Structure 1
Amino acid sequence: MNNQKNNLYFEEINNSGEELIIFIHSNLLNKDMWVKQKDYFSDYNCIYIDIPHHGDSYFEDEFSIERSMEILKELIEEKAYNFKNDSNNLQNKFKVKNKFKIKKVHLVGISLGGQIILYLLAKYPDLIDTAIVSGVNIYENPRKDNVNDIVAMMDRLKTDIFDKKPFKFRVKGLLAEYGLGKEHSEFIKCSIEKINQHDLNTITSQSLMFKIPEKEIFDKIHLENEYSNNKFNELNSSENLLVLYGTKEYPMVQKSADLIKKRFNKPHLFSVYRSIHLWNIIDNEWFNETIKEFISEKNIDLNNKPYLNKK
């Protein structure tokens, strides 16, 4: 998906697969964080995207979660829908394009990727079949002045510390933050060296300010969007939403999972024993079997899964 000004970069595998899974990475990283998922999900049509202003995706305008969500929507429509002119459906004397879904659509996202998915789920619930989010950070009442203080602190850290240290110092710090070994150094290096300070500040601000709309706003958005009403109650009752977090993540992530549960009606919510943010890499066997089972069954069988705890 690109034009002269914008380019969404993604890797697509097995486009003949009958079901589509789109993997959406965490803040400041790129599509390569899904290296442990590529072989396991090779039977599916998988797309691994670089979120706008990350990796090899280039966009002229500033990063925003809403804009990223709309770009994701366009990608889903391109890959999972056929468009057909219906001569019996006329509006203002012009033929209207109808959408016919040709593939089931599943979204998997961590952190910022999960925020983008939740936004899409709120606005276009009829578009996807399952949504899986992990490690999403949400503040109930985010304050702009607090976020500005955090961004200003990041600028000071860059000037006072990072700019005075070799680049590998920052890479080592992020490896420690994510709990990753040295073998992932090149992945971290390639991710962060492609994000300039302005984009870093904007992405951080957008992520910290993200808030799931209240129920009445969900309803308003739903009534105004172009999709049918059939799936709103189904998806808003959240049989199709799986929320996960690691027990070794920051306490705010667990509080955020509770906020998601409050905004959506009874989603599937599980903690993952002693896992941290990028458990898709570190505990990839747990991650893969959990995701695949939910996509297939819309449910999680806790038998033989001692690492999961239903919340």
Structure 2
Amino acid sequence: MTAAKDQNKTPASDASRDATDYPEVHPGRHHDAQRSMQTLVFLHGGNVGNWSWDPQVLAFGDYNILTLHLPAFGARFEETWEGLESAADDVAALIADEVSEGGVHLVGMSLGGVIALHVAARHPELVDSVMITGTPVTGVGQAARAFQRMQLKLIGSEWYWRFQAGAYGMVDDERELFTEHGVKLKAENLRAIMDEMDPGGLPEKLDSYQGPVLALVGAKEPKVVQKSFEALRAKLPQVITRVVPGMHHQWNIENPILFNSVLRKWISEEGLHQILVDPQAAKPARGAKAAPAEQPAEAPESEDRDADLPAPPVQEAEAKKPGKLGGKIDPRKLGPKKFDFKKKAPQQGDHPESAVDTGK
């Protein structure tokens, strides 16, 4: 892999990350004489930038790494979303430019996971293995679609993105980066992605890829993600599906040590970390005492929504910070008129951030 323009810009040498200027190319820092250096390609989700993979870049210095800015995100937020196939071809082009020999290990989060599947389907010769997490591919219902589009009115608000960051398990620097990036996203691009993802994002000819695939879901993610496992197995008989106990959607940031351990086990041995749970074994846990907090009956839209695009998992945020939120604001109960902040400002405090301690 060539170092390209990012040779002197690595997370290790520059502690301050930028939401739209994080490097794409990270040459390996620690060479293992017993094997040729392989390449990891990380594809971020639909409301973060490539900076979100920084904990993985720091931990995998024995690999060459690509952390792409996907179209319409990060450094490319001004670009227009052209579709999943176009995004996949864009990823494949960078891989072809930067990787001189051998296939890559694709790692995708949510929207990035869908794009990873499209890369594998359209360019199987470039891919050695795939690991995706939080990736819904079977679509969402009409109610969830309508609710998602209502929230597009909020994406320019800092308090809204801070609210989202909390429930993703982000703290400190990550919360600031998430907010800085989120307010730059264009509503028309997110709407176009929703329109494409709502019916389901499985690519055609996915069976052309014969390599290993691991599909994961955090136990605290919306049910729509785990529902996708069956559709994946129908298209990819070799796929292994597992649940990650206790984790939310963005668990590569929430618990990077665990994420890195799971990933390293997979790419080095095609093995499974001992913490991972078979989905069938995890099903009885829904009747356990903790289940209502993860899948509340009063909020079906939080179960059926796209796990990647903006939505308010209020139950986790309230559980984390009962003193600040105190159950006063529940977006599940807001009518469409209450999302129009041009006409009416939030009423819970002196300014928006005091009204909603943004904890998604």
Distance 2:146 2:233 in 1: 29
Q: Deviations over 1:12-70 (max 9, x none)?
A: 11158621111111112101111211211011101111111001025754331111000
How high is the TM-score relative to the length of structure 1? 0.73
Match of 1:189 in 2: 179
Q: Following superposition, which runs of at least 4 residues in structure 1 exceed 6 angstroms of deviation?
A: 145-148
Alignment RMSD, CA only?
2.8
Contact 1:115 1:210 in 2 (8 A): no
* Counterpart residue number, 1:36: 55
Q: Residue 110 of structure 2 aligns to which amino acid in structure 1?
A: S
- Are residue 308 (structure 1) and residue 276 (structure 2) matched? yes
Q: Do the aligned partners of 1:139 and 1:209 also contact (CA within 8 Å) in 2?
A: yes
Amino acid at match of 2:132: V
Deviation (angstroms), 1:198:
1.3
Give SS of 2:67's match.
strand
5+ long unaligned stretches in structure 1: 3-7, 82-101, 223-231
Structure 2 equivalent of residue 153 of structure 1: 150
Consecutive unaligned residues of structure 2, counting only runs of 5 or more, are: 6-20, 32-36, 280-360
> Would you say the 8 A contact 1:107–1:117 is kept in 2?
yes
- AA of the residue aligned to 2:277: N
Partner of 1:179: 169
Separation of aligned partners in 1, 2:79 and 2:252: 31
Q: Does residue 63 of structure 2 align to residue 66 of structure 1? A: no
Distance 1:283 1:151 in 2: 27
1:205 CA displacement: 2.3
C-alpha separation in 2, matches of 1:151 and 1:253:
16
Q: Distance in 2 between matches of 1:62 and 1:218?
A: 22
Give the aligned partner of residue 170 of structure 1.
Answer: 160
Q: Distance in 1 between matches of 2:145 and 2:246?
A: 32
**Alignment-mate amino acid for residue 14 of structure 1:** P
**CA contact under 8 A between 2:52 and 2:253: conserved in structure 1?**
yes
Q: By how many angstroms is 1:253 displaced?
A: 0.9
1:115–1:213 CA distance, 2 compared to 1 (3 A): closer
Aligned AA (1:41): F
CA distance in 2, matches of 1:78, 1:66: 18
Counterpart-to-counterpart distance in 2, 1:292 and 1:178: 22
1:216-295, aligned counterparts within 5 Å? 217-218=205-206, 222=208, 232=209, 234-235=210-211, 240-295=212-267
TM (norm. structure 2) is: 0.64
Q: Tell me how many residue pairs correspond in the alignment.
A: 255
Structure ranking higher in strand proportion: 1
1:193-219 per-position Cα deviation (integer Å, ceiling 9, x unaligned) = 2212212212222232333246xx446
> CA separation of 1:35/1:218 partners in 2, compared to 1, >3 Å: closer, same or farther?
closer
Contact 1:175 1:182 in 2 (8 A): no
